[in-house]
Amino acid sequence: MQDASSVFDALDTHIAVLDENGALVSSNSAWNRLDLTGEPGFATVGDSFLQACETGGDEAGQLIADGARSVLRGVSRRFEITQAVISATCKRWFHLVITPRSNGMPGAVVARTEVTPFMLQRLAESAREDDAANLKQARARIEFLDHYDPLTSLPNHHSALERLSARLDSSPKPQSSLGLISMELAGFREFNDTYGYSMGDRLLKEAAASLMGLGNVRFELFRLSGPVFLFLFPGVHTHTDLNQAYSFLLEISRGKVVIEGIELYLQFHAGASLAPHDGTDPEKLLRQVSMARKQAKHNGLQRLQFYEPRMSDELARFVQTSQALQLALERRELQLYYQPQIDLASGRIVGAEALMRWNRPGHGLVAPSYFIGAAEDSGLIRPMGRWALREACHQAMNWQAAGFELRMAVNLSAVQFRHEGIRWDVIDALDESGLSPHSLELELTESMLLDDGDELPNTLAFWKNLGIQIAIDDFGTGYSSLSYLKRLAVDKLKIDRSFVSDFQHNQQDRSIVQAVLQMARSLHMRTVAEGIEDDVVAKQLAALGCDEGQGYLYAQPMPADEFMDWLQQQEFRRRAGSA
C-alpha cells in the first residue's frame, strides 16, 4: 500500500502547500513539472506564493493573492477561480482552488487542474445527458470571468483592451479621439491591512457604485486590478475636455461612504492620456495612463496627471537601472568609498563615512544619487544596504587591526529603515565582523524622523542601548524640528554642505550654522560640518564650537586600499611633526 506522501506525489493535480505567511513549503511532482514562469502564482519551495501572484501586476494574479490571504487569515474557507492562460499558440483553461490545511496546521493548500479538451468534452456529454442548462451556465460563467470582475461586475482589463481596440479600429479619422483616465483609490492598502479583506471588498464595491453615477456624461468604466479603475471617454479631443471630465468624476465621487460604521471619503490618484494624441496601440495606451497615475502620487490627492513622453523614458531607465543593479549585486560591481571625519580642535582623524559607488561597466564610477531611487523603488535597497553594513563593519575591523581606532558612519535610506528586519541587519553586521557597537554610527535623514509611530523611537533606543551612535544627515535641508530631536535618541547633527560652502560670504548661511551649533550644544549633541574645502572656514567653524568636519580640504572619498594608504601617510606626518 502506498503511503500518503506517495499518493500526494502521484496525483496529476498540481498541488502546493503554503505556510501561514503564504510561502510555499511543499509541492507534488505535477506542480514541480510546471513550466509556468510568468504566470500568476508560479512559485517553487521557499518562494512567496502571494508575491508570485502579484509580481505580474495583472488582475488574475491580484485576485488569486487576495483569495489566498482570505483563506490564510480565516476570513473564508474556500477560494476558487477559473482562469485562462493565453500563450502565443493557444489558450488553456485552469481551475484553481485554495482551502485551509485539513490537518489543523496553519496555512493553506493550492490545487490547480487544467481543464483539458477531453474534460470539456466529458463535461459537454454529461451536460447533454443530465441537464443541458448546466453546460450553458458553465460557459456563461467562464465567459463572464473572462471579461468581467466578479467582485464589482465591472468589465475587466481584458475587456478594456477589447473596447480600446474596437474604438480605435472603428475611428481612424484624425478628428475621432478618446480620453483615458485611470484612478487608484488612495489609502486602500492601509484600509485592507487595518480592517481586513472582506471590508476592503466592500469598499471597492462602494467605490465602483460611486464612480458609475456620472450623470449624462458618456463613458465606459472598468476595474483593471486591485483599487485601480479605468474610464474611457469617447469624443474627448483635448486635455481641457479630459480635465473637465475628471472634474465631473470628482464631483460625483466626493460623497462620504459608510461601511459598518466606518466613515470615509473616497480620494484618488489619477492619470490620463489621449488617443490618438498619445498613440493608438491599446496596450501602450494602458501603460501610458498607468505611468501617469503613478506619477500623480507625487503630486497630491485628486490632481490629474497627464501622460508625458518623458515618463516612458524614465520608466525605461528605471527598468534598465534596476536590472543592472541586480546584476551589480551578483557581479560585485558595488564598492564602498570612505571619506575621513576630522576633529576640528585637534586635527585628529576620528572616523570615516562609508559612501556607496557603482562601478558600472560602460559608465564608469556612478554616484548613489543616480541609482538609489531605483534601488528603493525596486526593493533592491535592502540587500544593497545589508551588503554595505557588512562591508563597512569588516573594513572598520581591518583598520583597527592596523592600529587605527576609527568610528564607521553608514547611511540608512528611508525605505531600508522601514523594513521590519533592519534592527537585525545591523546586529548581524556587527556580529559577523566582530566590530564593537560603540564604533558604529548610523546616519538617518530628517524626513525619516517624522514618523509619529512607536517603531522609530523604539528602534533607535534599541540601537542606542547597544552603544551605536545615531546621526542626522544633511541637517537643515528638510523638516528641522526641535520636537523630534527632543523625542528621539540622537547623538550628532551633520550640517549640510549647502550651508558650509558659502559660509564665509553669505550671512544667512552663517546665521543658520551658528543657530544649529547653539541648538546642538543645548541638547548635548555633537556636530559635523560637511563639505569643508577651505582652511579658513574650518578654523571659523571650530571657533564657533563645531566638533568635526569632513570635505575635500582633508580628502575626497577613497576606496578602502587608498584610504589605508592615506591613513598611514597621515600617521607618518603626525609622528614626523612631533619628533
- Cβ atoms of 201 and 188 closer than 8 Å: no
555: its cell numbers: 580628502
> Where residue 528 falls among pLDDT bands split at 50, 70, 90?
very high
pLDDT over threshold 90, residue 119: no
pLDDT over threshold 60, residue 40: no
* Cα–Cα dist 127/136, whole Å: 9
Q: Are residues 175 and 71 in the same domain?
A: no
Among candidate residues 115, 149, 174, the one where a domain is terminated: 115
> Could you give the C-alpha distances from 15 to 32, 50, 69, 279, in angstroms and in order?
9, 15, 17, 43
> Where residue 57 falls among pLDDT bands split at 50, 70, 90?
low
pLDDT of residue 154: 87
pLDDT of residue 344: 94
Q: Are residues 344 and 475 in the same domain?
A: yes
308: its cell numbers: 508625458
pLDDT of residue 38: 45
pLDDT over threshold 80, residue 579: no
Is residue 123 included in any domain, yes or no? no
pLDDT of residue 476: 66
Is residue 86 included in any domain, yes or no? yes
* Cα–Cα dist 40/46, whole Å: 16
Q: Are residues 163 and 297 in the same domain?
A: yes
The mean pLDDT value for 40-58 works out to 77
pLDDT tens across 128-156, in order? 655 556 656 667 667 777 788 888 888 88
pLDDT tens across 300-331, in order? 777 888 888 887 777 777 778 888 888 888 88
Can you give the CATH number for the domain in which 496 is found?
3.20.20.450
Q: Per mean pLDDT, which range of 42-46, 48-52, 235-239 is the poorest?
A: 42-46
pLDDT over threshold 60, residue 182: yes
Q: Are residues 295 and 322 in the same domain?
A: no
Among candidate residues 115, 145, 172, the one where a domain is terminated: 115
> Where residue 37 falls among pLDDT bands split at 50, 70, 90?
very low
Please give the helix or strand (H or E) that residue 24 lies within, else none: strand 24-27
The mean pLDDT value for 168-196 works out to 77
Number of domains in the chain: 3
Q: Residue 505: helix, strand or coil by DSSP? A: coil
Q: How many CA atoms lie within 13 A of 493 on its CB side?
A: 30
pLDDT over threshold 50, residue 412: yes
Is residue 524 included in any domain, yes or no? yes
Q: Are residues 561 and 448 in the same domain?
A: yes
Is residue 534 included in any domain, yes or no? yes
Amino acid at the residue 468: I
Q: Are residues 164 and 214 in the same domain?
A: yes
Q: Are residues 244 and 373 in the same domain?
A: no
Q: Which residues of 72-105 are buried (b: 16+ CB within 10 A; e: fewer)?
A: beeebeebebebeeeeeeeeebbebbbebeeeee
> Where residue 74 falls among pLDDT bands split at 50, 70, 90?
confident
> Where residue 376 falls among pLDDT bands split at 50, 70, 90?
confident
pLDDT of residue 61: 82
Q: Regarding predicted confidence, which is higher, 446 or 226?
A: 226
Q: Where are the alpha helices (DSSP H) in 297-379?
A: 309-331, 368-378
Domain of residue 248: give its range: 157-307
pLDDT of residue 260: 84
The mean pLDDT value for 554-579 works out to 86
Q: Are residues 469 and 449 in the same domain?
A: yes
pLDDT of residue 88: 58
The mean pLDDT value for 548-553 works out to 94
* Cα–Cα dist 504/501, whole Å: 8
Percent of the chain exceeding pLDDT 70 equals 84
pTM of the model: 0.59
Among candidate residues 93, 115, 137, the one where a domain is terminated: 115
* Cα–Cα dist 404/341, whole Å: 13
- Cβ atoms of 402 and 431 closer than 8 Å: no
pLDDT over threshold 50, residue 1: no
Helices 422-433 & 381-401 angle (0-180, nearest 10): 30
Question: What is the residue-averaged pLDDT of the chain?
Answer: 82
The mean pLDDT value for 77-101 works out to 77
- Cβ atoms of 290 and 270 closer than 8 Å: no
pLDDT over threshold 70, residue 244: yes
Q: Residue 187: helix, strand or coil by DSSP? A: coil
Is residue 509 included in any domain, yes or no? yes
pLDDT of residue 526: 94
β-strand partners of 526: 492
Q: Are residues 451 and 529 in the same domain?
A: yes
> Where residue 175 falls among pLDDT bands split at 50, 70, 90?
very low
* Cα–Cα dist 487/444, whole Å: 15
Q: Dihedral of the CA atoms 105, 107, 111, 112 (nearest 10)?
A: -170
Is residue 120 included in any domain, yes or no? no
Q: Are residues 266 and 380 in the same domain?
A: no
Can you give the CATH number for the domain in which 162 is found?
3.30.70.270
Q: Please tell me which of 250-254, 282-286, 376-380 the model is most confident about, judged by mean pLDDT.
A: 282-286
* Cα–Cα dist 476/485, whole Å: 12
Can you give the CATH number for the domain in which 27 is found?
3.30.450.20
* Cα–Cα dist 520/206, whole Å: 52
- Cβ atoms of 329 and 384 closer than 8 Å: yes
DSSP character string of 401-465 = HTT---EEEEE--HHHHHSTTHHHHHHHHHHHHT--GGGEEEEEEGGGGG--SSHHHHHHHHHHH
Measured over all CA atoms, what is the biggest interatomic distance in the chain, rounded to whole angstroms?
107
The mean pLDDT value for 45-63 works out to 81
Q: Per mean pLDDT, which range of 181-185, 372-376, 429-433, 457-461 is the poorest?
A: 372-376
Q: Dihedral of the CA atoms 304, 305, 307, 312 (nearest 10)?
A: -150
> Could you give the C-alpha distances from 66 to 60, 106, 217, in angstroms and in order?
10, 17, 33
The mean pLDDT value for 152-164 works out to 87
pLDDT of residue 334: 92
Is residue 143 included in any domain, yes or no? no
Q: Are residues 361 and 432 in the same domain?
A: yes
pLDDT tens across 455-510, in order? 788 888 899 999 999 998 877 665 555 666 777 778 999 988 888 888 888 888 88
Q: Are residues 287 and 326 in the same domain?
A: no
pLDDT over threshold 70, residue 41: no
Is residue 474 included in any domain, yes or no? yes
